[in-house]
């Protein structure tokens, strides 16, 4: 799977995913956005970043977030989809 295909697949399963300007990184937003002074703000985001040997790393910059490594982009995209679903589910339970 190529990066464009991973973004398309993530979007097809309802994720807001996009190419991120830092290298080959993919951004996936978490939660429902709000608008502040005309700027769309999401409560969270995770990133898929390529690492050595064709592997990909999921990075969640939330202080309670995790980092996970996947052997390829397809497994990383599927893992990110599940990870974001769990984060959103836990936000609903807390809210």
Q: In terms of Cα–Cα distance, which of 12, 40, 5, 43 is closest to 26?
A: 5
Q: How many CA atoms lie within 13 A of 36 on its CB side?
A: 5
Report how far residue 20's alpha carbon sits from residue 24's, in angstroms, rounded to the nearest whole number. Answer: 7
End-to-end Cα spacing for the chain:
36
Helix (H, G, I), strand (E, B) or coil at 75: helix
What is the tens place of the pLDDT at every residue in 29-77? 999 999 999 999 999 999 999 999 999 999 998 888 889 999 999 999 9
Q: Worst-scoring range by mean pLDDT, 3-12, 16-25, 80-89?
A: 16-25
Report how far residue 49's alpha carbon sits from residue 41's, in angstroms, rounded to the nearest whole number. Answer: 22
pLDDT at position 91:
63
């Amino acid at each position: 799977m190529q990066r464009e295909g991973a973004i398309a697949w993530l979007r097809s399963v309802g994720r807001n995913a996009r190419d991120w300007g830092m290298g080959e990184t993919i951004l996936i937003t978490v939660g429902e956005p709000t608008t502040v002074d005309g700027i769309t703000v999401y409560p969270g985001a995770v990133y898929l970043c390529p690492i050595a040997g064709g592997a990909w790393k999921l990075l969640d910059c939330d202080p309670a977030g995790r980092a996970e490594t996947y052997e390829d982009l397809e497994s990383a995209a599927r893992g990110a989809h599940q990870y974001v679903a769990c984060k959103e589910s836990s936000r609903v339970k807390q809210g």
